Amino acid sequence: MIKKIISFLCIVLCLISCQDKVSKHDLSEVFRYNEKDNITSLDPAFAKNEPNVWATNQLFNGLVVFDDSLNVKPCIAKSWSISNENKTYEFILRDDVYFHKNIAFGKDSTRTVTAHDFEYSFNRILDPKVASSGRWVMQNVKSFKAVNDSVFRINLQTAFPPFLGLLSMQYCTVVPKEAVEYYGTEFRSNPVGTGPFQFKLWVENTKLVFRKNPLYFEKDEKGNKLPYLEAVAVTFYADKQTEFLQFIQGNSDVLYDLHTSYKDELLSPTGILLPKYKDKLALDKTPYLITEYIAFFMEGETVDNNLLIRKAINVGFDRAKMLRYLRNNIGNPATGFIPKGLPAHHQENIDLYQPEKAKAYIEQYKKETGNLHPSIKIATNSSYTDLFEFIQRELQGIGLNIELEILPSPILRQLKANGKLPTFRVGWIADYPDAENFLSLFYSKNFAPQGPNYSHYKNPVFDELYEKSLGITDRNERVKIYKQMDSIIMEEVPVVSLFYDEIIRFKHENVKGLTTNPTNLLNLKKVYKTK
Amino acid sequence: MISFLIKNIFKGFISLFGVATLLFFLFNLLGDPSRMLLDQREDQEQLENIKIKYGLNLPLHTQYFNYLNDLSPISFHSTHQNDYSFLPKNKSRITFLSTNDFVGVLKFPNLRNSFQKNDKEVSSILVETLPNTLLLAVTAISIAFIIGLLLGIVSALQVNTFLDKCIMVISTLGMSLPSFFSAILFAWLFGFVLHKYTGLGMTGNIVEVDDFGEGTKIVWKNAILPSIVLGIRPLAVIVQLTRNSLLDILSKDYIRTAKSKGLSTYVIIKKHALKNALNPVITTLSGWFASLLAGAVFVEYIFNWNGLGKEIVNALNSSDLPVISGSILTIAAFFILLNILVDISYSILDPSVELK
């Protein structure tokens, strides 16, 4: 019996001590972050959500990028020219950009990027068999062609000033044909790009590791090669408590998107970092190019889309109070549809909250329609229940009854796209940092399900201004038109803007060089950690 | 025995057919999964491409047939490459029928490819996650069985004493604690607050990867907390079952005879009472083991254990129907297999039981 117990313990000890070689690197060389929403693919053709975009941004490059101030900068394209009434873009490529070393390239294991690679990558986005979610990026593109190894030309059907913004998206990054064909459907988990980091290992739902790309072409201002970090490690804790506590324990370097359950642990009611964490953590806050809003389906005549009801809702609840008590002041009360951070945003400090005016609108509605108990139903998903319960209570105070319909996201999305919901919550994130991206939601040729105009809002004056803006290359002139369009939206209220989100990021004090930008793109090439 | 096996396997296939049919029609009520493959922008042309790619543009009855055809080991496929039912060359098969337009093949059940993970095979996902869930379930049920049995025996031998009452209170508490609550509590208490003393983490998998992707190691201690949490409820049930069953056995005449012969309590329990008392416990164990496979969802989610439960949650959030369907069918198959094994084990434990 004793021999059996000893044998058992020996086996257990052997199993406990089973391990491969352990890394010799220091933890200050690796940047660790958590992705609670899971990464579904490392293929940039499927960079459709933030987790995928952040990961692919470390591995791939495109023709151009945006800097933190939202200015277009060269990337693989070192320069470009625009001609033919702003319909032809010609890019001159760098000749020192190499793909990550990979067996797919044969014995040389790498090669330089050429214009033909961009032609291949763009064709891939359009390929129906690939079924990329980024196909829409090319909808205004008439043709594209590699003129030679260094010159890539794109012709548009109509002028589109924000086009360079589209090219900065992950969908438009370059991939090598050899690797895509070599790996086939496994390219999603064996990505090969040109980015500052290269793929090392992915144990799905457990850990994703990137390593420094020794062939990366960019250098810092002092001529040092980028990136500074040796590795990036991504974990996938789905539980918010676990994510939060892992960050507090020092097992991850940043924490984004603080859940409401834990906001009071780190932030004061006014949204400032609590004193007990001031020596250990840093808080970064930046406007995020997201507008959260309530949309009304404008077709047909219903209680929901009555102008007086819409106006009453727009001025009937206190946005500042909602953000203060439910989001610890994370976010900015909406004053228009274009979010803070874009030049066309309404800069004036206006408070839309006017409860007496709201009551007056309701009374007027009751007189005009004879409906003494107006009631509407707002559809949303469970993540926004607390905000909408607040709005519900506020609007009940002005005489409007609100019912909430909480739906799972897939069903909400389907009903919204098919015009089956009279009133619903939407959040619009900037695909690229230009106000046109937000205003296109009201262009009548973009009716859902063909486009993102979920409200089916139609206004010939608005449409005319929108089409006019597309022909103007001067940014300041375009901003003036965008402001006019935003004013029309505020006046006609096809949507009620709730707030503009903010990027809230906590990081440990030893993390340096991590900047924020209004598109919330994670850029790690200049990040380093002190010991 | 062979006729028993054949009959029960056949019944199992009928059950799986029922489960597959139910899943198919239920999921068609969950909303259009193809929309979840778009980004925030609606693009009708793109939506059509996605639907064609996954056969979602076909009439419902055709989709149902294709679904069953993929799952069935005996299936029929079009020879035209553009048809959805075309079987790619890299899929293993034994062809038993071949015409110009279709072939009949014997093949492994095809659980299809994940929508969200760019066509990663569902079977690959199961291979990655199912062993982790099985390990968790086996460890949990082993802990529950060993400790539950011991406590049940002690409780039965010390019936109506203070010790017996304490064990019963703990058992009742264990049965009433929901698994997600105990998971959060244990993770926080032992993995965070007492982390310095326990050395246990709030999260982890059996195989850990270092932050540079160079080293992997097996970390058995990561299984401790999730297994204990998962095993709490079956442990509580086994304690009570063992106690009650043993009390019943210990009141029998043949036990009194054994006592009167001067046999020790240890020998009486080990040689005479326990084997007979185990019948209801084995029945419970099998049911619990199967339900642990399905019920590990919360525990895997909280502890970030890379198992089937966590995969199902992710798939449900993104309407990844092939993953949901494949996972549930796999769990159903396990239930069926376990029931067969339990019936066989009865006949071994109790020779008077005949397999029919």
User: A18: which chain B residues are within 8 Å (Cβ-Cβ)?
Assistant: 217-218
Tell me, what DSSP letter sits at residue B189? I
- Are residues A201 and B306, on separate chains, in Cβ contact within 8 Å? no
- A351 or A124, higher pLDDT: A124
- A249 or A457, higher pLDDT: A457
Tokens coding B350? 């109790």
Tell me, what DSSP letter sits at residue B173? H
* CA A289/CA A431 separation, integer angstroms: 9
User: B306: which chain A residues are within 8 Å (Cβ-Cβ)?
Assistant: 203-206
* CA B150/CA B252 separation, integer angstroms: 21
Q: How confident is the model at residue A18 (pLDDT cuts 50, 70, 90)?
A: very low
Tell whether A265 lies on the interface with B, counting CB pairs under 8 A: no
pLDDT given at position B30: 66
**Residues A379-418: tens digit of each pLDDT:** 999 889 999 999 999 999 999 999 999 998 888 888 998 8
* CA B114/CA B304 separation, integer angstroms: 21
Tell whether A188 lies on the interface with B, counting CB pairs under 8 A: yes
- Are residues A450 and B317, on separate chains, in Cβ contact within 8 Å? no
**Residues A69-94: tens digit of each pLDDT:** 889 999 999 999 999 999 999 999 99
pLDDT given at position A17: 47
Share of chain A above pLDDT 70, in %: 95
- CB burial string B90-116: b at 16+ within 10 A, e below: eeeeeeeeeeeebbebebebbbbbbbb
**In the predicted model, is pLDDT for residue A21 greater than 60?**
no
Tokens coding A250? 């020092």
pLDDT given at position A20: 44
Average pLDDT on B259-285 reads 78
**In the predicted model, is pLDDT for residue A5 greater than 60?**
no
- CB within 8 Å of chain B, chain A residues 341-370: none
**In the predicted model, is pLDDT for residue A445 greater than 60?**
yes
- CB within 8 Å of chain B, chain A residues 210-249: 211, 230-231, 233, 235-239, 241-242, 245-246, 249
To the nearest whole angstrom, how far is the Cα of B41 from the nearest Cα of chain A?
6
Share of chain A above pLDDT 90, in %: 72
Query: Which residue of chain B comes nearest to A413, CA vs CA?
Result: B35
Of the candidates A233, A242, A452, which has its C-beta nearest B41's C-beta? A452
To the nearest whole angstrom, how far is the Cα of A191 from the nearest Cα of chain B?
13
- Residue from B120, B304, B305, B324 whose CB has the most chain A CBs within 10 Å, to mutate: B304
Cβ atoms of B213 and A209 closer than 8 Å: yes
User: B205: which chain A residues are within 8 Å (Cβ-Cβ)?
Assistant: 203, 206
Least confident range from A44-58, A97-111, A134-148, B244-258: namely B244-258
User: A21: which chain B residues are within 8 Å (Cβ-Cβ)?
Assistant: 214-215
- A481 or B351, higher pLDDT: A481
To the nearest whole angstrom, how far is the Cα of A421 from the nearest Cα of chain B?
14
- Are residues B212 and A233, on separate chains, in Cβ contact within 8 Å? yes
A281-296 and A423-429 as β-strands: parallel, antiparallel, unpaired? Answer: antiparallel
- Are residues A245 and B192, on separate chains, in Cβ contact within 8 Å? yes
Q: How confident is the model at residue A330 (pLDDT cuts 50, 70, 90)?
A: confident
Cβ atoms of B33 and B342 closer than 8 Å: no
* CA A234/CA A211 separation, integer angstroms: 12
Of the candidates B46, B214, B301, which has its C-beta nearest A23's C-beta? B214
* CA A288/CA B212 separation, integer angstroms: 31
Annotate B67-95 with DSSP letters as a single string. Answer: HHHHHSSEEEEESSTTSTTPPPTTS--EE
User: A23: which chain B residues are within 8 Å (Cβ-Cβ)?
Assistant: 210-212, 214-215
- Are residues B203 and A246, on separate chains, in Cβ contact within 8 Å? yes
Classify domain B120-349 by CATH number.
1.10.3720.10
- A vs B, Cβ pairs < 8 A, gives 191
- Are residues A429 and B30, on separate chains, in Cβ contact within 8 Å? no
A231-235 and A207-212 as β-strands: parallel, antiparallel, unpaired? Answer: antiparallel
User: B303: which chain A residues are within 8 Å (Cβ-Cβ)?
Assistant: 242
Please, which contacts does B151-154 make with residues 24 or more away whose CB atoms are closer than 8 Å? B151/B235, B151/B239, B151/B242, B152/B238, B152/B239, B152/B240, B152/B241, B152/B242, B152/B243, B152/B245, B152/B246, B153/B242, B153/B243, B153/B246, B153/B269, B153/B274
Query: Which residue of chain A comes nearest to B35, CA vs CA?
Result: A414
- Are residues B211 and A246, on separate chains, in Cβ contact within 8 Å? no
pLDDT given at position A300: 83
Average pLDDT, chain A: 91
Domains observed in chain A: 21-247+505-529 (3.40.190.10), 287-503 (3.10.105.10)
Is the interface score ipTM higher than 0.85? Answer: no
Residue type at A329 in one-letter notation:
N
- Residue from A36, A136, A436 whose CB has the most chain B CBs within 10 Å, to mutate: A136
Of the candidates A448, A444, A490, A449, the residue with the CA atom closest to the CA atom of residue A466: A444
- Are residues A189 and B42, on separate chains, in Cβ contact within 8 Å? no
Distances (CA, A) of A500 to A262, A382, B65, B316: 21, 19, 48, 29
pLDDT given at position A253: 95
- Are residues B184 and A230, on separate chains, in Cβ contact within 8 Å? no
List of residues 6+ apart from A374 with CB closer than 8 A: A303, A309, A362, A365, A366, A399, A400, A401
**Residues B33-48: tens digit of each pLDDT:** 787 788 888 778 888 8
* CA B283/CA A475 separation, integer angstroms: 74
Of the candidates B119, B129, B213, which has its C-beta nearest A211's C-beta? B213
User: Residue A404: beta bridge partners?
Assistant: A378
Give the gyration radius of chain B's Cα atoms: 25
Average pLDDT on A193-202 reads 97
pLDDT given at position A473: 85
- Residue from A242, A289, A407, A529 whose CB has the most chain B CBs within 10 Å, to mutate: A242
**Residues A117-161: tens digit of each pLDDT:** 999 999 999 998 898 999 999 999 999 999 999 999 999 999 999
To the nearest whole angstrom, how far is the Cα of A123 from the nearest Cα of chain B?
14
pLDDT given at position A333: 94
Average pLDDT, chain B: 85
Of the candidates A70, A40, A47, A44, the residue with the CA atom closest to the CA atom of residue A194: A44
User: B214: which chain A residues are within 8 Å (Cβ-Cβ)?
Assistant: 21-23, 25
Where are chain B's structural domains? 33-112, 120-349
List of residues 6+ apart from A46 with CB closer than 8 A: A40, A52, A132, A133, A134, A188, B118
* CA A349/CA A333 separation, integer angstroms: 10
A401-406 and A375-380 as β-strands: parallel, antiparallel, unpaired? Answer: parallel
Tell whether A413 lies on the interface with B, counting CB pairs under 8 A: yes
